[in-house]
């Protein structure tokens, strides 16, 4: 019986020593983790390119209309800029949006693109033919225009 009691005390002593070592190691690992590992509060900034569903169509129309000339002017139609916007289209845009752009403003690519995108977005990004033909006007010549645009898509 005495042997059992001594072995039990010896066993308890060893277990306490092992538990102390486990607690010490756990504590040290916790501190090391806090010091060397990134926290969940880290800020990660990921840059992505914008979605531009009309980019290829804009390129093709720019090639057909003016060969990318933002300063183009057609005196017969009074069409201005990269997209060759006519006065009636500009008037319609100004009425619909409350803008006050003038023909001179259309030499600025950003303004012209904004107007083009207003009309293209109304149709949607998945029907390039309809967008191009509507942009060109009406009638059978819009089919010829679409064929020209399609070559650059």
Q: Could you tell me which residues are beta bridge partners of residue 80?
A: 73, 85
Which pLDDT score, from 0 to 100, does residue 15 have?
A: 64
Q: Is 78 left (phi over 0), alpha (psi -120 to 50) or beta?
A: left
For the domain covering 55-150, report its CATH number: 1.10.530.10
Which pLDDT score, from 0 to 100, does residue 72 have?
A: 97
Which pLDDT score, from 0 to 100, does residue 21 have?
A: 75
Per-residue pLDDT 10s for the chain (153 aa) are 555 445 555 556 666 677 677 777 777 777 766 666 666 666 677 788 888 999 999 999 999 999 999 999 999 999 999 999 999 999 999 999 999 999 999 999 999 999 999 999 999 888 999 999 999 988 888 999 999 999 999
> CA quadruple 100, 102, 144, 62: dihedral positive or negative?
negative
Helix (H) or strand (E) holding 73: strand 73-74
pTM above 0.85, yes or no: no
Q: How far is CA 60 from CA 5, 38, 103, 124, 148, in A?
A: 94, 48, 23, 17, 8
Which pLDDT score, from 0 to 100, does residue 39 have?
A: 62
- Smallest CA-to-CA distance from 81 within 66, 61, 100, 64 is with 66
């Amino acid at each position: 019986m005495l042997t059992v009691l001594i072995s039990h005390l010896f066993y308890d002593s060893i277990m306490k020593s092992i538990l102390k070592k486990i607690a010490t190691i756990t504590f040290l690992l916790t501190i090391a983790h806090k010091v060397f590992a990134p926290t969940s509060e880290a800020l990660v900034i990921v840059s992505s390119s914008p979605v531009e569903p009309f980019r290829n169509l804009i390129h093709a129309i720019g090639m057909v209309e003016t060969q990318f000339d933002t300063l183009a002017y057609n005196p017969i139609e009074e069409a201005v800029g990269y997209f060759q916007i006519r006065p009636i289209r500009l008037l319609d845009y100004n009425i619909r949006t409350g803008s006050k752009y003038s023909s001179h403003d259309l030499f600025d690519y950003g303004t012209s693109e904004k107007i083009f995108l207003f009309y293209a977005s109304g149709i949607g990004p998945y029907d390039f033919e309809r967008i191009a033909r509507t942009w060109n006007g009406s009638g059978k010549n819009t089919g010829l225009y679409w064929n020209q645009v399609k070559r650059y898509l």
